[in-house]
Structure 1
Amino acid sequence: MRDQQAGTGPSERRLSTKEAAEVLGVKPETVYAYVSRGQLSSRRSPSGRGSTFAAEEVEALARRNRRESAVSQSAGGELSVRTRITLIEADRYYFRGVDASELAVRHSYEEIAEWLWTGRMRSGVTFTAPEASMAVARQAVDALPEHAGPTDRLRVAAIAAATADPLRFDLSEEAVLGTARTLIPTIVDALPPVLLGASRPDSPLAHRLWTRLSGKQPDEASLRVLDTALGLLADHDLAASTLAVRVAASARAHAYAAVSAGLGVIEGPLHGAASGLAHRMLLEVLDQGDAAPVVADELRAGRRVPGLGHRLYSGEDPRARVLFGLLEEIPNAGPALAAARHVVETAARHTPLHANVDLALAVFTASAGMSSTAGETIFAVARTAGWIAHALEEYGERPLRMRPSGLYVGPKPPQPLPGGGGESPPPHP
């Protein structure tokens, strides 16, 4: 029974243990656990049997618990984080409720980035880097050894740019958006150019990135593929790198540091570097003129065939579908496209898997005269937009909420000190 004690106002409404448990959605014994942890205060009931709890305090704790449940365990036991950015369902994916494939075909990468960050479309927007951050980032990247990989360069450029921004610790939305609009062009323009004089600092980002990846003069169809690929890859729900970004943002790391955390994860062969494996496989197929021995070698070694299958799509990866359609319009892509189709057909005799975006990227990079690491660069630059969107979203959540509890399975304490006979050390004098 709700307990309205004499002499108190409505704000002093009291709840029984059972009522408090119902509001909180827990068992009665959990209510007392909240008390022992200092999250609730209790008072003996007037009858002397049981405890009562301030209704306002219980309801505040229930609201707090609901907010914290934004980070929870899904029915399958996997980490689940509420987000308004990307939805993946029924072999399609959406950016803020809009079909991402259609966005990428109709809008530039910069426009899609703005949509992810703000939910508003800024037609014709381009990103430019301030000279101060540009100079520091280029100097840092130029100091790297020649064998440094693309993600090394991007990560160093991001960290260097942070040192040139004294306002980087301002986590207000407007400040982070300002950082985003300059950080992405900074990390692109800091990469060593392969094709000199082919773009201006105010060119669309895809044009400037092309000159860092290929020595060939670009045509409009190829630039369109690159820009569309950037838009398609801008975000993909809570991938491993995106989770790392959200953990960093939860600890209130600034945007440069959060992006650096994502770049640290993306280098793995199971994530951003996967297209490089597919690129090298396609070159081998083109060299041998047959996919069968190449696919057989992959399977014999116990490896997955690169560029096939995706855990989130039972059918064809929608990103691959869009890119393959655009690649059909590029004559130079014909041989690599045929090699990719042969890989899919050959592998289907073993396991029926569809092509994923890594295979489509590999076709593009191989036919555009780019290195095997170019797909990793495209992926990392593209995903930076999504990382910043997730960082912005996480800055609006409770700090340090990304703190799971470890499930300890080691030796049960107390254990003897290592190297000794198990006796306790003598006390200090």
Structure 2
Amino acid sequence: MTDQAGAAGFTEPSAQRLTTRETAERLGVKPETVYAYVSRGQLTSNRAPGGRGSTFDAAEVDALARRTGRREPTAAAGALSFPTGITLIGSDQYFFRGVDATELARRHTYEEVAEWLWTGELRPGMRFTAPAETLAAARRAVGALPAHCGATDRLRVAVVAAAAADPLRFDLSREAVLGGARSLIPTLAAALPTVAGEASEAAARPGLARQLWPKLTGRPADEASLAVLDTALGLLIDHDLAASTLAARVAASARAHPYAVVSAGLGVLEGPLHGAASGLAHRMLTEVLERGGAAPVVADHLRSGRRVPGLGHRLYAVEDPRARTLFALLAEVPRAAPALAAARDVVATTTRHTPLHANIDLALAVLSVSSGMAVEAGETVFAISRTAGWIAHALEEYGERPLRMRPSGQYTGPRPPQPLPSGHAPGSQ
């Protein structure tokens, strides 16, 4: 997964001279075109030390890129890595537009964090609302699905229905995209079926977390638990170029409308190594509580060759800062104490020999288990939250050169030319 591109932080453009290949990549052209620029006097080349190849001044190359409207598509051959002003991931923390993301999510609602990610402006009291016509279309579409369908299936269908109800979906102007996003996200939450026995007053109050709570559990909403859910939504909005975000950017690069961008992200998110990972942690914590301790559960996972879910993250050498933030809030929820203790037991048991730390999936599992939510609740929270991040990346990508992400395949098939196949018609001898 390419999301570790942000782990080392952003780097300023190099002042050193560029090779022909690096110049071509920065301009988004073939090496032959670079020499065409030289012949037309648009670039100046110098012979590289040792007389092998040419070098080019980086500032001159960047100036040419601005004049021609080209932008650097990748930072290195074989790797999709490109500038973004949305999320920076460090060794033990991450930032949204330069601001500590965990502090932002703790102090502000999901809607306020989303607005910050989209616009760089904090708008206190921001609330998203679903248009009646759009919501009705989404609910009809979701209601037509078989009862056994999962939440992500319903979200995908709701996105398609919302897109069909929006005649302005092909308008990729910034204001149109933002307007659509502010209506799509609450539509996704409201289109999900309500869990039987929910407290009606929870859904009547403003805020996405309150709207979403009765879709996840039949237990009444208390302020401490809602604070955990709202913070989780804020923490999960973006995490640099995770797999689903890369898919969303590829769709935006092809100038797909925002609803299609979100659909692309949802398609990838459903994988067990991404958005669905919290469900595995949920099942594990449930088993730990049933068996009275983590040791036999961890042993069963290892004996069957399965990794212990909810532990480790390729971008953090320490505990996932998102998990650390949620654990601190869950400690203030009395009914979360058993699940939280079970999670700590899993970490302590596993780290006797392997230095692994809790990640966001384990924290989401504590929330879902302690709140009486279904196994896939964490995936639902992840999907709805990350929708805002996909929109933020789409807005960035709409400002770039279209179709700039076009990697080349490394052909490993038979060497051509091969003879035409001599197949036989069915039944012939």
TM tier relative to shorter chain:
0.7 to 0.9
Question: Comparing 300-309 with 215-224, which one deviates more in the overlay?
Answer: 300-309
Verify the 8 A CA contact 2:262 2:391 in the aligned structure 1. Answer: yes
Verify the 8 A CA contact 2:138 2:191 in the aligned structure 1. Answer: yes
- What are the superposed Cα offsets for residues 67-107 of structure 1, whole Å, 9 maximum, x if unpaired? 53243338xx6421210000001210000000000000100
- What are the superposed Cα offsets for residues 249-290 of structure 1, whole Å, 9 maximum, x if unpaired? 000000000000000000001000000000000000000001
Residue in structure 1 matching 2:20, options 26, 40, 43: 26
Q: Structure 2 CA distance, aligned partners of 1:408 and 1:193?
A: 50
Q: CA deviation at 1:297?
A: 1.0
Do residues 53 (structure 1) and 56 (structure 2) align?
no
Verify the 8 A CA contact 2:289 2:339 in the aligned structure 1. Answer: yes
Verify the 8 A CA contact 2:343 2:362 in the aligned structure 1. Answer: yes
Distance 1:127 1:25, change over 3 A: same
Verify the 8 A CA contact 1:137 1:186 in the aligned structure 2. Answer: yes
> Secondary structure, in 3 states, of the residue corresponding to 2:75?
strand
Structure with greater Cα Rg: 1
| Aligned residue identity for 1:373 | E
Q: Structure 2 CA distance, aligned partners of 1:144 and 1:369?
A: 24
Verify the 8 A CA contact 2:202 2:221 in the aligned structure 1. Answer: no
Q: Structure 1 CA distance, aligned partners of 2:421 and 2:345?
A: 59
Cα RMSD, aligned residues only: 2.5
Give the match for residue 363 of structure 1: 366
> Secondary structure, in 3 states, of the residue corresponding to 2:40?
strand
Verify the 8 A CA contact 1:276 1:362 in the aligned structure 2. Answer: yes
| Aligned residue identity for 1:53 | R
Q: CA deviation at 1:39?
A: 7.1
> Secondary structure, in 3 states, of the residue corresponding to 1:344?
helix
Q: Percent identity?
A: 67
Give the match for residue 320 of structure 2: 317
> Secondary structure, in 3 states, of the residue corresponding to 1:87?
strand
Q: Structure 2 CA distance, aligned partners of 1:305 and 1:24?
A: 45
Give the match for residue 155 of structure 1: 156
Give the match for residue 404 of structure 1: 407
| Aligned residue identity for 1:415 | Q
Q: Structure 1 CA distance, aligned partners of 2:337 and 2:68?
A: 56
Q: CA deviation at 1:62?
A: 4.7
Distance 1:376 1:414, change over 3 A: same
User: How do residues 190-229 of structure 1 correspond to structure 2 at under 5 angstroms?
Assistant: 190-194=191-195, 195=198, 197-200=200-203, 203-229=206-232
Q: Structure 2 CA distance, aligned partners of 1:67 and 1:91?
A: 35
Verify the 8 A CA contact 1:24 1:62 in the aligned structure 2. Answer: no
> Structure 1 length as normaliser, TM-score?
0.85
User: How do residues 105-254 of structure 1 correspond to structure 2 at under 5 angstroms?
Assistant: 105-194=106-195, 195=198, 197-200=200-203, 203-254=206-257
Q: Structure 2 CA distance, aligned partners of 1:227 and 1:132?
A: 26
Verify the 8 A CA contact 1:126 1:202 in the aligned structure 2. Answer: no
> Secondary structure, in 3 states, of the residue corresponding to 1:282?
helix
- What are the superposed Cα offsets for residues 119-154 of structure 1, whole Å, 9 maximum, x if unpaired? 000000000000111000000000011111111111
Q: Structure 2 CA distance, aligned partners of 1:338 and 1:81?
A: 41
> Structure 2 length as normaliser, TM-score?
0.85
Q: CA deviation at 1:64?
A: 7.2
Verify the 8 A CA contact 1:127 1:181 in the aligned structure 2. Answer: yes
Q: CA deviation at 1:409?
A: 1.5
Residue in structure 2 matching 1:418, options 409, 413, 421: 421
| Aligned residue identity for 1:54 | G
Verify the 8 A CA contact 1:128 1:202 in the aligned structure 2. Answer: no
Question: Comparing 189-198 with 165-174, which one deviates more in the overlay?
Answer: 189-198
Residue in structure 2 matching 1:288, options 291, 316, 321: 291
Give the match for residue 10 of structure 1: none
Q: Structure 2: which 5+ runs fail to align?
A: 1-15, 45-59, 425-429
> Secondary structure, in 3 states, of the residue corresponding to 1:235?
coil
Q: Structure 2 CA distance, aligned partners of 1:55 and 1:266?
A: 44
Distance 1:63 1:286, change over 3 A: same
Distance 1:80 1:66, change over 3 A: farther
Q: CA deviation at 1:403?
A: 1.0
Verify the 8 A CA contact 2:20 2:34 in the aligned structure 1. Answer: no
Give the match for residue 336 of structure 2: 333
Q: Structure 1 CA distance, aligned partners of 2:247 and 2:369?
A: 30
Distance 1:298 1:85, change over 3 A: same
Give the match for residue 427 of structure 2: none
Q: Structure 2 CA distance, aligned partners of 1:175 and 1:290?
A: 52
Verify the 8 A CA contact 1:308 1:359 in the aligned structure 2. Answer: yes
Q: Structure 1 CA distance, aligned partners of 2:172 and 2:236?
A: 25
> Secondary structure, in 3 states, of the residue corresponding to 1:303?
coil
Give the match for residue 8 of structure 1: none
